[in-house]
Structure 1
C-alpha cells in the first residue's frame, strides 16, 4: 500500500467513527447533560460572577473526583498554574524544571513570575517529563543548600518542578515525586490535559504539593474557560483562594487588600457549566477509552505508524489520541492529506527551547523530544454520540 492510499485508508476509517460529519474536529465539546439547566439557574440567581453556589459546588466536585482535600476554582488553567507557582514560593530570578515538549502555557506561567524555565527531555513511553533525565540533570547541576537546591551552572535557586501529563497520558509521577523530594524541590503537576487519568490508582495532579487543571473548550470536560488548583495543604489552598480574589480582606462592606492580588476566580456562570460537565466525566472517559481501543486495533495492521498507548500502571483519559509516523516528511504528508479531507489533525507543539523568548533557557539534549516532535500527530478524539 502506497503512502497516499495508506493515508486515505486511515482518513476513511476515521470518518466511519464520526458518521454524518463533513468536517471532523480534533476535539469538540459534548453538552448532553444539565448544562443548560444549571446555566439558566445561575442566571436566575443573579450570581453570575466569581461568587455563587456553582463555584462552591465545582470545588467540592473536584475534591471528590481527584481525592484532594482542597480545590480552588480559577478562570483558566494558565491562571491556575501561575497561582500554584506563586503560593509554592517561586520568585523572580528562580528557575523551574519542566519539559521541552509542552503547551506554551506551562512556560508562560513560569515567566509571569519572572522565573526562568529549564527544559528537560521526555520519556518516550509516556511523552511526559523523564524521571531518569530529571535525576541525571540534578546529579550534574544540582547543589543542595540551606535555601534549597541551586543550579551550579547559573547560581539560581531551583524553586519548583512542573511535569505535564501530555495528552492525558500519566508520566511516571511517583518517580518524579521521589526525585523532587530527594532534592527538596516542590512538585507542581500540570494536569491540564489529564482530568480523569490515574497512575497506580491515584489521580494525576495529586502526587505533588499542588496540581492544576484546565477546562478549556477542547478539554475532556469544559466550561468554555476555567481552571482548578488542587492540594492537600490547607494553608496553600487558603492563600490561593485569597490571592485569586484580589487578596480582599473579608469584610461586609470595606475594601481592604493585604497582597497584590489577581482577578483569577472562576465566574459562577462557567462553574454552572463545569458542574454539569463533571457529572458526565466518568462516562466521557469511558467513551474515549473505547475509542482508543478501536484506534489501537485498527493501527495494529498499519505499517509505519505507531499508536501510543497508556503505560502499564496508568489509566489514561486519552484526551487526544497520538500517532507516531516514521519521520517528519511522513508526518507532514499525513497532516496535509487529513486536513485537506476534512479530518482535523495536528502536530506536536514546537519545542519550547526553539521559541524566540526561551532560546536562552538552559536545556539538556532533548533528543527524545526532538524525535517525537518530528513524528507526532494527534487525530480526532471527541466523545462519540
Structure 2
C-alpha cells in the first residue's frame, strides 16, 4: 500500500509528533504543514523537504491528503479539527480534545455526522508504566478497583507552563484541564468508569507574585528551559498574562462508585507522577514513571508499612514519553487505514475534558461538588463501537 499523505496543522512545541509520523516508505509521509508562524514554516520546510508549507488552513485542506494532525494550541483544536473532519479527512487531535465541553461536543458531532475518523492523542495510554498497572488490574491482582489517587509533581512547571500561552486561561482554561487531562483520562481508564461528580480547590500560590514578564511568542520552550532555573520564586520572563492556578486538588466520584483524587503542583523540585490504585484485594503504586521504575503490589495484610509483596519493573522503551509517542502515532496510522477500536477513545477524551472543565468551575467557585454532564447515547455508541461508518481503504 502507498504511504498515507498526512498534513500537520501547527509545527511548534508539539511538532515532534509530526516528525514521528513522517515515515517515507514506511507507511506515512508528512506532505503538507500549516502554521501561522514564519519561523515554524521555515522549520517545517527543513524537516520535510518537498512538503507543501502554508499559513492557510484552507490551502492545506485543499491539498490531496488522507489525514490531518492537529498540533495547535488547545484553544484552536475545534476550529481546526472540525473543518478537517468536514473535508472528509481522518483527524489526529492532540490532547486535550478542546478547552470547553461544547467544543468537544462539536468535534464529536462533526466526526459522527461526516463519518470521518477521529483519534485523540492521549499518549499516556501507551506509556509502559500505565500499561503495566492496567494489566495488573485486568489480571485481577488487586480485585475490584475502589480508589485511585494521583499525585503529579510538575517540577518543570515554571518553564513549561508559565512562560507561554498555557498561563493564560483564555488559551488553556487552566492547568487542571490542560495538564490534568492526561491524568484524569488515566484515572478513568484504570478505574473502568468516568466521573459523574467532581470538586476542586486550588490557587496561584507562587507564580502570581512574580512581576517579571515578557512576550515569548517567537520562542520555543527549549530556549528558556533549564534545570538551573531554581527556586520557583526566582523565575523570570513569565507570560504577560498569568491567571491559571499553579497548585490544585480535585476529587472525583466515578460512575461505578469508585472514588478518585488528583493533585497537581507546578513548583516541586522533582517531575513525575505517582499513582496509587486500591482494590478489594490489594493495592498497586508506582515509584517513578519511566523505564526501570517500579510498580509495587501489596496483597497481604501487614501490621504497618511493609515492603511490597511483589515488585514489577517498568519495561525499557525508547522514544518520547517512554516510547508512547511512537506507539501512539503507529496506532493512529493503522486507524486511518483500517478503522476499528483503538486504545485511545474520543469519548474518554471528551469525558476527561468535561471532568477537568467542571472541576475548574468548582475550583474558581465555592469548591462545591458539581455534576459532569453526560453525552447523548448515540454518540457514545458510535465511538465506543469503533466509528463504523463506511470508509475507503487507503
Whichever structure has more strand as a proportion of its residues is 2
Common topology (TM > 0.5): no
| Normalised TM-score (structure 2) | 0.31
| Normalised TM-score (structure 1) | 0.31
With a CA cutoff of 8 Å and minimum separation of 6, indicate the structure with the bigger relative contact order: 1
